[in-house]
Amino acid sequence: MRDKPSLSFLIRIKIRLPGLWQKRRMSDTSSFILSVLTLLIVPGPTNTLLAASGAAVGLRRSLVLIPAECCGYLLSILAVIFILGPLLGDTPILGAGLRIAACLYLLWSAFGLWRGTGLPGEQSDQIGAVAVFFTTLLNPKALIFALVIFPQEAGLPALPYMVTFAGLVCTVALGWITLGTGLASSAPRLLTQDRIGRFAAVALAIFATVLGGSALAAAMA
């Protein structure tokens, strides 16, 4: 007859299990933070606009762009998880269509920056919150965040991860704005507002070309 586990053994197991669960949770959180930071830091359309705004109008006047980026990412991620995610598996052409839409918006934005007439939805020639919001809303990074990086329980991202993500977005956005401000202050004669706009336009056009090429390749596959 097999001996029953002793009371002291059960107590030791009960004590150890929460510790093991806590370590795993901490490891998952660390991996999440590292993955989000890595993807956020990579240059892209939104980061280009943040740096360009910092270079053009300075840090203080560019801070309004940070909540716009945060809202754009959160709305896009939730839309992908609840609406687009299930459809992307059944209709792959939808993913290509989204990338084409993002490509066209970026080209439109690049055209406005190059001509100095402003970005879509803005009332002036400055980079504003509306442009940053829509650029982030269509940013392909949101697909990776939603479908790959965010852990989900019953289809819903855990609230602590959403809060952590928002904090990381704000931190990285502030870094890009500060970078633009620093570059402009170190070379004020080189980085005039017209040149800043044209540099940003070229960068957006490059991102749009890459997006458009991947969308066409996916559509023809």
| CA nearest to 63, candidates 75, 46, 50, 72 | 50
- Per DSSP, the residues of 160-208 read HHHHHHHHHHHHHHHHHHHHHHHHHHH-TTTS-HHHHHHHHHHHHHHHH
Angle at 45 between CA 115 and CA 48, to 5 degrees: 75
Strand, helix or coil for residue 41: helix
**How does residue 101 score in pLDDT terms, banded at 50, 70 and 90?**
confident
Instruction: Look up tokens 């009371």; give the residue.
Output: 7
**To the nearest whole number, what is the mean pLDDT of the chain?**
77
pLDDT by residue (tens digit) across 8-42?
443 343 444 444 434 444 457 888 899 899 889 98
**How does residue 92 score in pLDDT terms, banded at 50, 70 and 90?**
low
Highest average pLDDT, of 8-17, 74-83, 113-122, 146-155, comes from 74-83
Residue 123 predicted with pLDDT over 70:
no
> HSE on the CB side for 136, CA within 13 Å?
27
